[in-house]
Amino acid sequence: MTRFAVLATLVLVAAVMCGVAPAGAQKTVDRVSGQERNDALKALDDTTNAVGRMGALRTLATEGTMADLPRIAQALRDPAPGVRVMADGTMWAVWSRSGDPAIDALFANGVEALQEGRWPDAVRTFSAIIAKKPEFAEGWNKRATAYYLMGEYQKSLADCDEVVKRNPLHYGALSGYGMIYIQLDQPARALEYYERALDVNPNLDGVRNAIENIRDFLIRKRRESI
């Protein structure tokens, strides 16, 4: 395995497979408490109370909607480290909630198959989700992950396209593009997507390290060609 292939696998684990939602955040919300959600969004603006901002993100993990993602994404740049960590988990929680209990149960089965290395089973499960609810971007993202692990890079790229069409802030999918282009021996393209991922979420240390290594590699390659 090449140096960049190793980096790609590390970033995959960090940015695509291991997005962790806060405890209890994976439940399907049968109702959205408008007042509770609005109060949480307002609390994110209180720059004097980091604990309050963390509590607001915890609420949004179960009550937030896709429309709230740009506001939640701002918290990825919060001065308080705990708020930034909570914002990351909240993003994944909102992404992973379809709003349909049956789809969410199927999604949980697919994630379990993915984590256990049963990648063909994961593909079948996420394909069923996509057929039933194609607007659910995370179904595409998880199938892209399974395809990547199976070495089906073109299929993974196609699924990443579907993710970002529905969720342009999905830094996991943006990182996924980078991993795929590394495997396809296109480091310049990989660099472009890693930089886009880091622009959305500046806390992705694995992506930051990959960017530095790719830049070093490209500089050496240019020097050797002179």
Give me the percent of the chain exceeding a pLDDT of 90: 81
For residue 225, what pLDDT is reported?
Answer: 79
pLDDT digits (tens, 9 = 90+) for 17-40: 445 444 444 444 444 458 899 999
Determine, yes or no, domain membership for 189.
yes
Determine, yes or no, domain membership for 154.
yes
For residue 65, what pLDDT is reported?
Answer: 94
pLDDT digits (tens, 9 = 90+) for 58-76: 999 999 999 999 999 999 9
- My answer on whether 195 and 118 are in the same domain is yes
- Is residue 2 scored above 60 in pLDDT? no
Calpha distance 207→193 (Å, rounded):
10
pLDDT digits (tens, 9 = 90+) for 72-110: 999 999 999 999 999 999 999 999 999 999 999 999 999
- My answer on whether 70 and 119 are in the same domain is no
For residue 33, what pLDDT is reported?
Answer: 54
Gyration radius of the chain over CA positions = 18
For residue 20, what pLDDT is reported?
Answer: 47
**Residue for token digits 């396209």?**
161
- My answer on whether 118 and 8 are in the same domain is yes
Lowest mean pLDDT among 120-124, 201-205, 209-213, 217-221: 217-221
For residue 59, what pLDDT is reported?
Answer: 96
Determine, yes or no, domain membership for 101.
no
User: Number of structural domains, the chain?
Assistant: 2
pLDDT digits (tens, 9 = 90+) for 128-149: 999 999 999 999 999 999 999 9
Read off the pTM: 0.86
- My answer on whether 14 and 126 are in the same domain is yes
Provide the CATH number for the domain around residue 130.
1.25.40.10
pLDDT digits (tens, 9 = 90+) for 142-179: 999 999 999 999 999 999 999 999 999 999 999 999 99
- My answer on whether 147 and 77 are in the same domain is no
- My answer on whether 115 and 137 are in the same domain is yes
Determine, yes or no, domain membership for 26.
no
Determine, yes or no, domain membership for 145.
yes
- My answer on whether 155 and 83 are in the same domain is no
Q: Which domain holds residue 13?
A: 3-21+111-225
